[in-house]
Amino acid sequence: MTRSFRIGQIVPSSNTTMETEIPAMLRAREAVEPERFTFHSSRMRMKKVTREELAAMDDESDRCALELSDAAVDVMGYACLVAIMSRGAGYHRESQSRLHGVTVENGHPTPVVSSAGALTEGLGVLGARRVAIITPYMKPLTQMVIEYIEAEGIQVVDSIALEIPDNLEVGRRDPLALTEIVKRLDITEADAVVLSACVQMPSLASIQQVEDSLGLPVVSAATCTTYQILKQLKLRPRVPNAGRLLNGSYG
């Protein structure tokens, strides 16, 4: 029997990637598994990736959760990693709990995952304790991401910050460019590579290619979020050609 699930996404207003990559992964999954998915979004205003805009945007997330709850979605994904991380170590737990509470109060209790929590949890599933990462952020925000990841017990052994402040420009990047950029990472001590520590920087087209080349697990904020969405739906986390985390072995 084919089951249908509604996927809700809370996204920055200038984000163009999570509503592309997550549906692409779940559409690919539909070719090998019986479930079907529809996608529904609510947006928070944000144009420049600065601490001030990120904080103002995060303040709108409760409204978004309420709107998506009206649609009785089956799971919600908070699709802005750096907005969560900018609010301090471990904030994804507080955010997810609060947003879930909004759905409970609205009469449609809904599990909530965040790309920030999903990234660190996905690395934990893989057993990665040392990682190398690529971000599109300015260096101060990249350092903030590093500190957040390390507060979760995962050491960042190397990083590349592409220093792109405009969120639309980030979303327009060629995902295949990462196959060259990753060669500048020092992965000597890494257990895994985070090819895009940002839900807006496209990377899906490169994930499997880079993983095959490096011989290490390769993830992104988007692949980790997809893993957690599938887990919350109690579905086997299997997506073809999306890296080791989604190969169906980590159910």
- The catalytic site residues sit at 80, 198
- Count CA atoms within 13 Å of residue 49 on its CB side: 33
Terminal-to-terminal C-alpha distance of the chain: 21
* Cα dihedral 65/116/53/141 (nearest 10): 180
The conformation of residue 154, written as its DSSP 8-state character, comes to -
Phi and psi at residue 89, to the nearest 5°: -55, 135
Residue 230's Cβ-count burial label (10 Å; 0-12, 13-18, 19+) is: buried
Cβ atoms of 5 and 29 closer than 8 Å: no
How far are the Cα atoms of 2, 52, 231 from residue 145, in angstroms, in the given order? 39, 16, 24
